[in-house]
Homo-oligomer: A and B are copies of this chain.
Amino acid sequence: MQSGNEQAAEDAPAHAEHSDIYDDDGVVRASFLAHIGAAIADRDTLTLKGDVASLHESELGDLLEALQPDQRRSLVELLGADFDFSALTEVDEAIRLDIVENLPNEQIAQAVQELDSDDAVYILEDLDQEDQDEILAQLPFTERIRLRRSLDYPEESAGRRMQTEFVAVPPFWTVGQTIDYMREDKDLPDSFSQIFVIDPTFKLLGAVHLDQILRTKRAVKVEDIMHETRHAIPATMDQEEAAREFEQYDLLSAAVVDENERLVGVLTIDDVVDVIQQEAEEDLMRLGGVGDEELSDTILAASRSRVPWLLVNLFTAFLAASVIGLFDHTIERVVALAVLMPIVAGMGGNAASQTMTVTVRALATKDLDIYNAWRIIRREMGVGFINGIIFAMLIGTVAATWFSDPYLGGIIAGAMVINMFVAALAGILIPLVLDRYGIDPAVASAVFVTAVTDVVGFFAFLGLASWWFGFS
């Protein structure tokens, strides 16, 4: 990274160290990989510990992903207690499972105690119940209770993503007392940006940002500078909804509370950033007709995950084919229709997918709501009509010239206007209706939209042609 800024790289040794691992494209450097590979082959534990220990967890994660599966397992084995388990939160699920399932449960239990609770839960939640129980049983009581509680919350909830380490003080403490407490307490979380104020039953009263504490005189009471925690997150809230709260209110961290408004953890922005990435990825993948596939999935797993979508498309393709079948006599007489008909259907499909993409994204970000839905629908109808006219003229002219038949040009032009207009309507109405009925528009829109533009495209074009050539 930061190539083209050589002076910076020279002045700051840290940069140079960083770029030891990645090349200019941000990919793990081949020489570094070869060096680690050789050390693994030689079982050279000393070199490995020296060169891998200084890596950031995400760098170690990238290294693991770049290694061969057997090298990966050997590296973890050779590093032993020096392997930083938090790197496992940075790799593909398949790689994580492969590594974890090759380790004895005792070693995992040992490692999990060193981790922040959110990282520990992230690793434990993918294991089967039996391994989970065995690992939890080997943890100290309080640790076990904490992790168990997080794991008991539903998947993809705030409770699963929260960190159970936090600083909480009573309201009557002074700023000075609070600072002294933090100076003495060795059991603080690794890093934090606010502290919470609670009553004796752990009920959340408020929060104070660290900069607020630093600006305030020692004698001031915490309750006098705390702010109301407007954005406390219920532990059962879906992580996507929690992420939206963070985005809307620019939060760095937020208290997570149970059903009795008691503080149970803290959700931090770094986890939320991962959630945001993940949700954006889900929308993209669903629009493309792929499920929760990961790059590390096997051929069979990937094949299986893609079949359902292709099956639905097969059904709609036969639907479109049967529309063509209605007009087989016309096609027999005017074979140019067979040549041109995919253009009408295809252009409609593309126009519809443009509208659909805009709509699905706007629904996901909540930019599209009842206040502007009608305006956007009207706009899309306008766009569909204008682009329909433009492309009708273009295609009509080309078709008329190609087959030396002005009537054919007119027919395809008419069909184009109809299909582009219907495409625009389908592109916005189908996602809106799916969303209204609680179906994720990213998953299902594309199938319906293509079906509509194929069927309408073929029907309009071949229907107009049959009507015209039937009379001529």
A245→B320 CA distance, assembly (Å): 48
Q: Which of the segments A39-47, A96-104, A141-149, A299-307 contacts the partner chain? A: A299-307
Top 3 nearest A-B pairs (CB, nearest first) are: A288-B357, A280-B280, A338-B338
Given A290-B354, A366-B26, the answer on whether A376 and B280 have CB atoms closer than 8 Å is no
Q: Which of the segments A77-85, A132-140, A386-394 contacts the partner chain? A: A386-394
How far in angstroms is the closest Cβ of chain B from A368? 7
Least CB separation from A435: chain B residue: B25
Q: Which of the segments A4-12, A107-115, A123-131 contacts the partner chain? A: A4-12
Task: Tell which of B59, B280, B357, B395 touches A289, judged by Cβ atoms closer than 8 Å.
Answer: B357
A283→B277 CA distance, assembly (Å): 12
Tell me which residues across on chain B come within 8 A of A365, comparing CB atoms: 277, 281
Task: Say yes or no for A400: interface residue by CB 8 A criterion.
Answer: no
Tell me which residues across on chain B come within 8 A of A31, comparing CB atoms: none
Least CB separation from A340: chain B residue: B321
Task: Say yes or no for A229: interface residue by CB 8 A criterion.
Answer: yes
Contact A288 B342, beta carbon cutoff 8 Å: no
A277→B66 CA distance, assembly (Å): 27
Task: Say yes or no for A70: interface residue by CB 8 A criterion.
Answer: no
Contact B314 A237, beta carbon cutoff 8 Å: no
Task: Tell which of B269, B293, B324, B357 touches A273, judged by Cβ atoms closer than 8 Å.
Answer: B269
Q: How many residues does chain A have at the interface if contact means C-beta atoms less than 8 Å apart?
A: 142
Least CB separation from A241: chain B residue: B1
Task: Tell which of B216, B314, B318, B371 touches A183, judged by Cβ atoms closer than 8 Å.
Answer: B216
Give the B-binding residues of A (Cβ under 8 A). 1-2, 5, 7-8, 11-12, 14-15, 17-18, 25-28, 30, 33, 56, 58-59, 65-66, 92, 179, 182-183, 188, 191-193, 209-211, 213-217, 228-230, 232, 234, 236-237, 241, 244-250, 252, 257, 259-261, 269-270, 272-274, 276-277, 280-281, 283-285, 287-290, 293, 295, 297-300, 302-303, 306-307, 309-310, 313-314, 317-318, 320-322, 324-325, 328, 331-332, 335-343, 345-347, 350-351, 353-354, 356-358, 360-362, 365-372, 376, 379, 382-383, 386-387, 390-391, 394-395, 398, 450, 454, 458
How far in angstroms is the closest Cβ of chain B from A143? 22
Contact B270 A273, beta carbon cutoff 8 Å: no
How far in angstroms is the closest Cβ of chain B from A417? 14
Task: Tell which of B191, B230, B314, B371 touches A347, judged by Cβ atoms closer than 8 Å.
Answer: B314
Task: Tell which of B5, B11, B234, B288 touches A354, judged by Cβ atoms closer than 8 Å.
Answer: B288
Given A58-B248, A335-B331, A357-B285, the answer on whether A383 and B302 have CB atoms closer than 8 Å is yes
Contact B358 A288, beta carbon cutoff 8 Å: yes
Given A2-B237, A18-B230, A343-B318, the answer on whether A310 and B350 have CB atoms closer than 8 Å is yes
Contact B386 A300, beta carbon cutoff 8 Å: yes
Tell me which residues across on chain B come within 8 A of A335, comparing CB atoms: 328, 331-332, 338
How far in angstroms is the closest Cβ of chain B from A123? 17
A-B contact pairs, 25 of them (CB 8 A): A5-B236, A5-B259, A8-B234, A8-B259, A14-B230, A25-B369, A26-B244, A27-B369, A27-B371, A58-B249, A66-B372, A92-B367, A182-B214, A182-B215, A183-B216, A284-B361, A287-B287, A289-B350, A295-B368, A302-B379, A310-B354, A310-B387, A314-B391, A321-B343, A324-B338
